């Protein structure tokens, strides 16, 4: 724990330079240009309390109150803008100082109140409380492990201490910025003479920052910084990527999760190359408690067969790693609306059919990316339609995902007959290498696999990246109208678009994960690819989508017929299938309550 506390504190010290924090520096600096000497300490105290409490309890608070997490961020934005107005408007400042002075005088002798209470600790405390709600640093592995516990409401004493160490580390440069700004203001005569004007200027700056956070511009700024300096954020957190920290985190994870994370499992940060086998520790137990599919009548040995089950009766019988000992196991993390995952399925099917009689078992761990992917009926239907006939288990609570410390869709982990992880691969491709790994592990187990079933991987021709549409992860959205969150607005398309950019026309609502038209609307997208896919969830029956490519009705695909489709299921739909990749313009007319989540390309 000493190692983690030390590096959490150090990470907090340097986090002030992270691209995720740069938009908030004006709020920090404002704590030093106004108020009394105690104001910076009030800002820090409020920040430490707010960031620690909400980092560790936000999920529980949201579930208990039934409010969206974004509501707390909005509350913080309102406070920031209010403090900006207080700094800008003398009359409002007088009212606030009077109120804050009375609050500061509670519990003290009568007559002890004064301006210092208003502009000092009490005023700074409120600024710090709001700052903690919008402080979203580019966390490294230490704080990421704490956040993971918080998301699943498994916070322990160690998580509290680590978070406090991080916030105390952050407080040092925060105080330095505030006191440094105050010292500069006091030592430069020209600045001292214009102190009132400077204070008003920071008031305007706080209002601008508050509005920017409310409109999501701070996230765009972060993205722009990282595009210009790709290694910037990772460089700041790389101090944690050392063997001592990884070992301490692994030991802590094992204690925190119990059976959820097996001791000795590698962090899988550096994938092996060219099929070279290693020993990455024992495979974690199957800890997810989700529904199973396709295990009925699974033959595990000459005399061992699972008890028959049925989907309709509540799912297939569960598997355990102990039952699979002596078999070669491929664990595949996937989700049915991920086109990258779907493109790997023909290879998984070929391997399963070719080698299952020689000892291969594939377990598909279905870890959802979107809310509708948690529905067991949707998953069962997708399994049937995609022809997945090997065992699949739902991992809606991410327990299995965390047990492997996984970060990718798709991800393949190859486990030998002794139950140890010997190889892993992230993403698509290298199918021949993966097949060779399977055959090598089968030979070690005493089988004699022959031949090769993996065809060469198809050439990925898309140049347009995956495009999420909900504001939580949206990028490259352009519009003649500034977007708003979670309510309907009439949008007008942007005059021009570049590759990967998309725009809306008509009445649309933009939610955290998806967009949905009020009754009908248009979406236009510039893309460079051969195939275009869209994740759609019908909110109610009767919706339809008309598809045009370069102003002409789209050719038929597996889903589009006669230039249109009528989605009835929550899944991935193929909108475009061209002879070759190239730059094109896609236009959709969406009618009815259809939720659109993300575009992927091939």
279 plus 343 within the same structural domain: yes
206 plus 294 within the same structural domain: no
Residue 535 counted as domain residue? yes
- Peptide bond preceding 212: is omega within 30 degrees of 0, i.e. cis? no
Q: Is the pLDDT of residue 108 over 50?
A: no
274 plus 356 within the same structural domain: yes
Residue 438 tokens read as 């399977």
362 plus 498 within the same structural domain: no
- Mean pLDDT of the 343-355 span: 85
582 plus 530 within the same structural domain: yes
Predicted confidence at residue 105, as pLDDT, reads 56
Tell me the pLDDT band of 236, cut-offs 50, 70 and 90.
low
> Residue 440 belongs to a domain with what CATH number?
3.40.30.10
- Closest C-alpha among 338, 337, 351, 345 to residue 364: 345
Predicted confidence at residue 309, as pLDDT, reads 37
178 plus 63 within the same structural domain: yes
Predicted confidence at residue 107, as pLDDT, reads 45
Helix (H) / strand (E) element for 569: namely none
Residue 459 counted as domain residue? no
Backbone angles phi, psi at 508, to 5 degrees: -135, 150
Residue 489 counted as domain residue? yes
Tell me the pLDDT band of 585, cut-offs 50, 70 and 90.
very high
Residue 248 counted as domain residue? no
Q: Which residues, at least 6 apart from 574, have a Cβ–Cβ distance to it below 8 Å?
A: 531, 532, 533, 557, 558, 559, 560
Q: Which of 248-252, 317-321, 395-399, 425-429 has the lowest mean pLDDT?
A: 248-252
- How many domains, the chain? 3
474 plus 341 within the same structural domain: no
Predicted confidence at residue 526, as pLDDT, reads 93
Residue 251 counted as domain residue? no
Residue 449 counted as domain residue? no
- Mean pLDDT of the 336-341 span: 77
Tell me the pLDDT band of 438, cut-offs 50, 70 and 90.
very high
Residue 573 counted as domain residue? yes
Task: Please write down the HEC assignment for all residues of 448-510.
Answer: CCCCCCCCCCCCCCCCCCCEECCCCCCCCECCCCCCCCCCEEEECCCCCCCCCCEEEEEEEEE
432 plus 481 within the same structural domain: no
* Rounded CA separation 164/8 (Å): 9
* Rounded CA separation 9/375 (Å): 41
The residue among 444, 475, 490 that closes a domain is: 444
Tell me the pLDDT band of 79, cut-offs 50, 70 and 90.
confident
Q: Is the pLDDT of residue 517 over 90?
A: yes
318 plus 440 within the same structural domain: yes
pTM for the predicted model, two decimal places: 0.48
196 plus 290 within the same structural domain: no
- Mean pLDDT of the 142-167 span: 62
Tell me the pLDDT band of 491, cut-offs 50, 70 and 90.
very high
> Residue 596 belongs to a domain with what CATH number?
2.60.120.260
Predicted confidence at residue 392, as pLDDT, reads 93
Predicted confidence at residue 372, as pLDDT, reads 72
Predicted confidence at residue 335, as pLDDT, reads 87
Predicted confidence at residue 72, as pLDDT, reads 64
Contact 379, 392 (CB under 8 A): yes
220 plus 349 within the same structural domain: no
The residue among 238, 253, 274 that closes a domain is: 238
549 φψ region: left (φ > 0), alpha (ψ -120 to 50), beta (else): beta
Domain hosting residue 61, numbered range? 2-238
Contact 427, 466 (CB under 8 A): no
424 plus 497 within the same structural domain: no
What is the Cα Rg of the chain in Å?
28
Predicted confidence at residue 116, as pLDDT, reads 42
The residue among 83 and 46 whose pLDDT is bigger is 46
The residue among 222, 238, 254 that closes a domain is: 238
Compute the C-alpha angle 586/588/589, nearest 5°: 155
Sheet holding 392-394, edge to edge: 292-293, 392-394, 360-366, 328-334, 411-415, 421-426
Residue 245 counted as domain residue? no
* Rounded CA separation 500/464 (Å): 6
| pLDDT digits 0-9 by tens, 267-316 | 566 678 888 898 888 999 899 889 999 887 676 654 444 443 334 334 67
Predicted confidence at residue 381, as pLDDT, reads 84
């Amino acid at each position: 724990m000493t190692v983690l506390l030390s590096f959490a504190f150090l990470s907090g010290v340097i986090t002030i330079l992270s691209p995720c924090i740069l938009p908030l520096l004006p709020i920090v600096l404002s704590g030093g240009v106004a108020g009394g000497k105690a104001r910076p300490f009030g800002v820090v105290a409020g920040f430490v309390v707010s960031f620690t409490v909400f980092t560790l309890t936000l999920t529980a608070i949201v579930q208990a109150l039934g409010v969206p997490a974004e509501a707390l961020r909005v509350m913080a934005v309102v406070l920031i803008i209010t403090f900006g107005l207080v700094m800008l408007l003398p009359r409002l400042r007088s009212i606030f100082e009077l109120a804050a002075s009375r609050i500061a005088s509670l519990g003290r002798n009568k007559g002890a109140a004064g301006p210092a209470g208003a502009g000092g600790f009490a005023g700074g405390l409120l600024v710090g409380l709001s700052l903690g709600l919008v402080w979203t640093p580019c966390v490294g592995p230490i704080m990421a492990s704490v956040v993971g516990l918080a998301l699943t409401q498994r916070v322990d004493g160690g998580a509290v201490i680590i978070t406090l160490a991080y916030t105390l580390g952050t407080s040092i440069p925060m105080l330095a910025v505030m006191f440094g700004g105050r010292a500069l203001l006091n030592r430069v005569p020209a600045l001292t003479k214009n102190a009132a004007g400077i204070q008003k200027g920071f008031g305007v700056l706080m209002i601008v920052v508050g509005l920017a956070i409310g409109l999501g511009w701070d996230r765009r700024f972060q993205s722009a910084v990282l595009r210009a300096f790709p290694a910037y954020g990772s460089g700041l957190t790389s101090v944690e990527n050392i063997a001592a920290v990884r070992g301490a985190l692994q030991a802590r994870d094992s204690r925190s999760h119990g059976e959820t994370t097996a001791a000795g499992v590698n962090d899988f940060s550096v994938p092996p190359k060219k099929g070279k086998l290693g020993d990455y520790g024992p495979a974690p137990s199957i800890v997810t408690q989700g529904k199973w599919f396709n295990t009925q009548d699974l033959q595990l040995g000459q005399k061992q067969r699972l008890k028959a089950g049925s989907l309709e009766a509540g799912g297939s019988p569960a598997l355990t790693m102990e039952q699979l000992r002596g078999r070669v196991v491929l664990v595949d993390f996937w989700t049915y609306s991920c086109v990258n995952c779907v493109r790997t399925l023909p290879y998984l099917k070929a391997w399963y059919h070719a080698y299952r009689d020689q000892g291969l078992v594939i377990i598909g761990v279905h870890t959802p990316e979107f809310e509708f992917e948690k529905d067991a009926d949707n998953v069962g239907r997708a399994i049937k339609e995609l022809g997945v006939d090997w065992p699949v288990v739902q991992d809606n609570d991410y327990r299995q995902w965390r047990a492997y410390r996984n970060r990718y869709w798709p991800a393949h982990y190859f486990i030998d007959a002794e139950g140890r992880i010997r190889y892993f691969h992230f993403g698509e491709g290298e199918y021949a290498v993966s097949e060779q790994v399977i055959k090598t592990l089968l030979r070690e187990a005493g089988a004699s696999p022959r031949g090769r079933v993996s065809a060469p991987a198809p050439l990925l021709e898309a140049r347009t990246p995956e495009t999420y549409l909900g504001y939580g992860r949206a990028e490259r959205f352009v519009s003649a109208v500034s977007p708003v969150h979670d309510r309907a607005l009439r949008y007008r398309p942007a005059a021009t678009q570049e590759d990967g950019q998309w725009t809306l026309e008509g009445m649309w609502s933009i939610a955290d994960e998806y967009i949905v038209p009020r009754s009908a609307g248009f979406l236009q997208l510039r893309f460079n690819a051969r195939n275009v896919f869209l994740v759609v969830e019908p909110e109610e029956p009767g919706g339809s989508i008309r598809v045009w490519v370069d102003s002409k009705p789209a050719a038929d695909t597996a889903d589009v017929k006669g230039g249109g489709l009528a989605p009835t299921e929550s899944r991935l739909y193929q909108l475009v299938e061209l002879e070759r990749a190239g730059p094109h313009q896609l236009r959709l007319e969406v009618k009815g309550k259809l939720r659109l989540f993300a575009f992927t390309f091939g």
